Amino acid sequence: MRPTVRTIGLIGSSWISDGRPRCSLTLAGRFEDALDCFVKAERLSPRDPLLWGFTLIHALVCILSHEYETAVHLAQKTIQIPRATGHWPHTVLAAPLAHLGRIEEARAAVKAALEQKPDLSLSYLKKTVPTKHPGGLDPYLDGLRKAGLPECRADFRFWLQADMKPPEIDFRSSPSFGHSGQSWE
């Protein structure tokens, strides 16, 4: 982290020098420092192709700081950016909506996230988003739990509770299973 922060002083006008440490600062629990990086990075590069990443992590900072209304606004802004893809924008929207008691909207956001990544779960997020402090992601994960995101991949109680059908996955054509795309028949 120290070399990244030192870079800010060396290249003060670069969005990379201000934008890069934002995620590290967030996961280290240094929210005020992270917010300063967001503001400067967004100001330096308002049309950046990675702008959705700025607003996404900014929304995550707001969730972890219990600023749920602001987090919803930023997550909705992120989803509207054409390059914002994958499950992340939807999970970052679902968590604060659930904390605000807007459960139906939160469940719809979880459903959209699961359409992007059918095996998404709380255990997956805990493993892929490390934090410096134990429980550092609790507000985010608790919101997703309230919104109905399953604890683990095999937990299909979510679909039963939400009266939804699990997504159909064709493992025969999945590149992650080493299949070359040729028919198995």
Residue 36 lies inside a defined structural domain of this protein: no
DSSP 176: G
Residue 48's pLDDT band, with cuts at 50, 70 and 90, is: confident
Domain membership of residue 78 (yes or no) is: yes
Q: 59 to each of 12, 62, 77, 148, 175, how far by Cα in Å?
A: 24, 5, 10, 20, 32
Model pLDDT, residue 45: 72
Tokens 């992650």 identify what position? Answer: 176
Is residue 11 in a domain?
no
pLDDT of res. 46: 74
Helix, strand or coil for residue 57?
A: helix
Q: What is the pLDDT of residue 85?
A: 86
Which of 105, 107, 56 has its CA nearest to residue 81?
56
Residue 31 lies in a domain: no
Q: What is the pLDDT of residues 66-79, one digit of tens each?
A: 999 999 999 999 99
Place 17 in a pLDDT band, splitting at 50, 70 and 90: very low
Q: Which amino acid is at 59?
A: A
Number of compact structural domains in the chain? 1
What range does the domain containing 139 cover? 49-177
Mean pLDDT for the stretch of residues 39-52 = 75
Task: Indicate the pTM of the whole model.
Answer: 0.68
pLDDT at residue 179, rounded to an integer: 40
Does 138 map to a domain? yes
Instruction: Using only the alpha carbons of the chain, give its radius of gyration.
Output: 18
44 pLDDT exceeds 50?
A: yes
Residue of 3, 8, 2 whose CA lies nearest to 36: 8
Residue 32 lies in a domain: no
The domain that holds 132 is classified in CATH as 1.25.40.10
DSSP code for 81: S
Q: Does some domain include residue 125? A: yes
Mean pLDDT of the chain: 75
What would the pLDDT profile of 88-105 be if each residue is shown by its tens digit?
A: 999 999 999 999 999 999
**Between 166 and 92, residue with greater pLDDT:** 92
> Mean per-residue pLDDT for 168-174?
48
- Taking residues 119-138, report their average pLDDT: 85
Average pLDDT on 115-144 reads 88
Give the model's pLDDT for residue 38: 67
In a domain, 73, yes or no: yes
| Cα first-last separation, the chain | 52
The pair of structure tokens assigned to 139 is 């507000």
Q: Where are the alpha helices (DSSP H) in 11-102?
A: 15-19, 21-27, 31-44, 51-64, 68-80, 88-99
- Pick the more confident residue, 11 or 184: 11
